[in-house]
Amino acid sequence: MEKGVPPDAVYSMGVVERITGLTARQVRYWEKHGLIAPARTKGRHRMYTEADLIRLKEIKRLVASGMNMEQVKAYLARRKAAPAQGQAPVLPAERIAERLPTLSAGPVRSLYTGANRAELQRLIDRKPSP
């Protein structure tokens, strides 16, 4: 949460667009699918809290990472159901599998690919700057 912003502060759609980098259409679409539930004024204008902004940014990050709408819903539901403290968020099995090297070639000796290993060695061998 930003310093000095009370937790119950509300933001209009225009402010949300500027802060999150999302379009109004994206925000309304995610609301339609139940990913976000903003408060409404008497005139039915959407008003967003600081928590809503954080959730929108998280959804944006998940979608950018390649998750589809159903995966995002499942991820957020699992995270909500998990205890808040001491437990890492659960990733879908297919997302974890994408990040692991294949085991068909034998035992894994390193999580670095050949190119990354060379770059890591170059950084290690680099002389410190004066």
What CATH number should be reported for the domain holding residue 20? 1.10.1660.10
Residue 65 lies in a domain: yes
- Give CA–CA dist 58/67, Å, rounded: 12
Asked if residue 38 is part of any domain, the answer here is yes
Pairing of strands 46-49, 39-40: antiparallel
Amino acid 63: pLDDT: 92
Residue reference for tokens 């000095």? 4
Domain count, the chain: 1
Domain, as residue range, for 29:
10-83
Q: Is residue 28's pLDDT more than 50?
A: yes
> pLDDT confidence of 43, banded at 50, 70, 90?
confident
Containing 75, the helix (H) or strand (E) segment is: helix 69-81
Model confidence, pTM: 0.57
Instruction: Indicate whether 52 belongs to any domain.
Output: yes
104 is a domain residue: no
Token pair 């410190």: residue: 128
Residues 60-79 as b or e (16 or more Cβ within 10 Å = b)? bebbeeebeeebbeebbeee
What's the pLDDT tens digit per position in 65-115?
Answer: 999 999 999 998 888 776 555 555 555 555 555 555 544 445 545 555 555
On whether residue 77 sits in a domain, the answer given is yes
